[in-house]
Homo-oligomer: A and B are copies of this chain.
């Protein structure tokens, strides 16, 4: 089962600067060979369910290993069985609707 997720990691108890923890997870996602795109408030990832959630678990382990005693995360996920649709397709689909509407 393919899944598209958007993951936001918030390490707690390590101060206000979180970018090095986010960077560590980006590295985990890349090493897992997953297609991922960082955006302002999370990372969009797509792939096989077990690989995607395995990488998210690894990200938690790595961030705890860096000294964060607590992590709060939010994952939005989407699965569909009717057809394949990549993350790029989704953005294209919205943009083509905007174009058709003369935007």
Q: Is the interface of A mostly helix, strand, loop or mixed?
A: mixed
Within the complex, the shortest CB–CB distance from A94 to chain B, in Å, comes to 5
Q: List 13 A-B contacts (CB under 8 A).
A: A12-B12, A16-B69, A19-B90, A20-B97, A22-B97, A27-B98, A38-B94, A40-B87, A40-B88, A40-B91, A60-B79, A64-B79, A72-B77
Residues in A lying within 8 Å of B, measured CB to CB = 1, 4-6, 8, 10, 12-13, 15-16, 18-20, 22-23, 26-27, 30, 37-42, 44, 46, 49-50, 53, 57, 60-61, 64, 69-82, 87-88, 90-91, 93-98, 101, 103
Given contacts A1-B57, A12-B10, contact A71 B78 (CB under 8 A): yes
Residues A97 and B49 in contact, CB atoms below 8 Å apart = no
Most buried by B among A41, A75, A101: A41
Provide the residues of chain B in CB contact with A10, threshold 8 Å. 10, 12, 72
